[in-house]
Amino acid sequence: MSQPAYPFPEEPVGDLEAHDKSRHVEQKSTWKGRIWDTFDRPPLERKLLFKVDAVILTFASIKNLDQTNTNTAFLSGMKEDLNMYGNELVTSTSIWTVGYVIGQIPSNLLLTRVEPRWVIPALELGWGVATLGSYAVKSYKSLYALRFLVGLFESGFYPGIHYLLGSWYTPAEIGKRAMIFWLAGSLGQMFSGFLQAAAYKNLSGVHGLAGWRWLFIIDAIITLPIAVFGFFFFPPLPLQGKNTWWLTEDEFTLARTRLQKIGRAGKKPWTWVKVKSLFFSWHTYFLPMLYVIWNNQWPQQAIGYWLKSFNVKKNPPVPGKTYSVEQINVLPLPQTAIFIVCALSFAWLSDGVFRGRRWPFVYIGAVYSLVIAAIMRTFPLYKNINTTFAMYYISQIGQGAGPLILTFINELCSDDTEKRALLVAAANDLAYVVQAVAPNFVWKTTEFPRAKKGWTWSLILNILLIVWMTAILLLIRRDQKKRRQEEADGSSQGDVSETYDSKAYDSGNDSQPETPGPAIGDNRAAVLH
């Protein structure tokens, strides 16, 4: 295991000394600690985590409205106003994705060298301005240009936040926080639905603007102040060696020490040896592809199109049955609410009962999702409306593994911060490269709500996801056997990062990391040095 880039004091002082002594007292797990891990931590660590949570999670979670507003606006009048009767919505999403994939890897690598408070808020400022401009578009071609800019400015945000989470939190903490950050997008979708319903009802015609245009204005009003907030509050990375004004020296030293204990590394120079190790590591090829497969098996939400299909003028599927614009925006929300509850359970179980293991939830989600896809390929959408609602509402229960996969990558690459930043960004980047192309063929707007090709695509990719996860676990098992053999021979000099899948923890005491391995491997504990 490579050593962190910064030295640490051998003898802690002040509050840190009291914290260090408290770590030697057995920490009993309480019901509050099972709900939120900080309740079972020593006072100094609890204070540190409270501050970091308040800044990072708040900043990271508020920005997600602008990723859902275009779909919401499409269903609320933009389709008709901009003459988007073909595949223009899918095309606008693809153009957004093109902008999104361009900057992800450079932005994440930049975070290993430049303070995040300059990188992330600047990006948010850019997409806030582009979102504001969307309210005034007169054609879908103008919308295309602005969606490209929004995607370009957003490119570094999602992988960047996941990299930052891996730069602050331990395995008993990171899964929950990664899930909360990701689910903020779903909450944003829910809020956007309510917001658009309210805008359509209360703001349509105000100052001569349609209700869907007001949604972009409101989103920008929310986004721009958060960007300014980030310039003042967003923290640096602990192992970059520079503190922030709202952490004491003891808290900052503790943040660095926590990372040292679990093998996180600071920045290192780019050398030919490093480049060669990245090129020949199986991590580089297998880990990003795991996320690519997961991201693209996700079925696009068809319930909105299904609701809108009742309102066609010719040959309605159920004569006499229609839904208002407000209903089209609000009725899909239980699907998102059910999904959020199930996804949160994935994260809490992964950090807690499963002691840092991420891979079981990839299997659980894939099996459930392929069954749903198989059913929805031929499901009679209009035979029983209540049954169809129920199927849509439970269709995304298995989709909660994504943040845990990025956490999995964060943990596997703990001892090389550049590799960690690169692979987290590459995973998200490549996922969107595929996403920019595939929907134009398998999730065509004109084929909704049936979307049989799309459900078939989802089914096939979920089978592939199971196969790919199994291959990764076998590679981890191979590396564990190799390491045990090297240790037995007294010649263990290899790269430890390729010999375990995550550092599992007793959720009540992070000072004793383990190397659990998959169920098919060994559960041998190993303290990291």
For residue range 442-476, list pLDDT tens digits in order: 988 888 999 999 999 999 999 999 999 999 999 99
Flag whether 339 is in a domain: yes
- Is the domain of 183 the same as that of 308? no
Domain holding 251: CATH number?
1.20.1250.20
Flag whether 6 is in a domain: no
- Is the domain of 138 the same as that of 96? yes
Flag whether 312 is in a domain: yes
Flag whether 358 is in a domain: yes
Structure tokens at 4: 């962190």
For residue range 20-55, list pLDDT tens digits in order: 544 444 456 788 888 888 888 999 999 999 999 999
Rounded distance between C-alpha atoms, residue 338 and residue 386, angstroms: 16
Is residue 186's pLDDT more than 70?
Answer: no
Residue type, 438: A
Flag whether 402 is in a domain: yes
Who wins on pLDDT, 373 or 241?
A: 373
- Is the domain of 227 the same as that of 328? no
- Is the domain of 246 the same as that of 138? yes
Question: Running DSSP on this structure, what letter comes out for residue 512?
Answer: E
- Is the domain of 54 the same as that of 129? yes
- Is the domain of 423 the same as that of 477? yes
- Is the domain of 250 the same as that of 285? no
DSSP string, 350-404: HHTTTTT--HHHHHHHHHHHHHHHHHHTS--TTT-HHHHHHHHHHTTTT---HHH
- Is the domain of 191 the same as that of 250? yes
Structure tokens at 381: 């959408």
Flag whether 268 is in a domain: no
Flag whether 141 is in a domain: yes
Range of the domain at 471: 279-486
Flag whether 2 is in a domain: no
- Is the domain of 75 the same as that of 152? yes
Who wins on pLDDT, 490 or 91?
A: 91
- Is the domain of 52 the same as that of 146? yes
Instruction: Please count the structural domains in the chain.
Output: 2
- Is the domain of 317 the same as that of 401? yes
Q: Nearest CA to 182 among 317, 356, 76, 336?
A: 336
Among 255, 287, 315, where does a domain finish?
Answer: 255
Rounded distance between C-alpha atoms, residue 286 and residue 306, angstroms: 37
- Is the domain of 364 the same as that of 292? yes
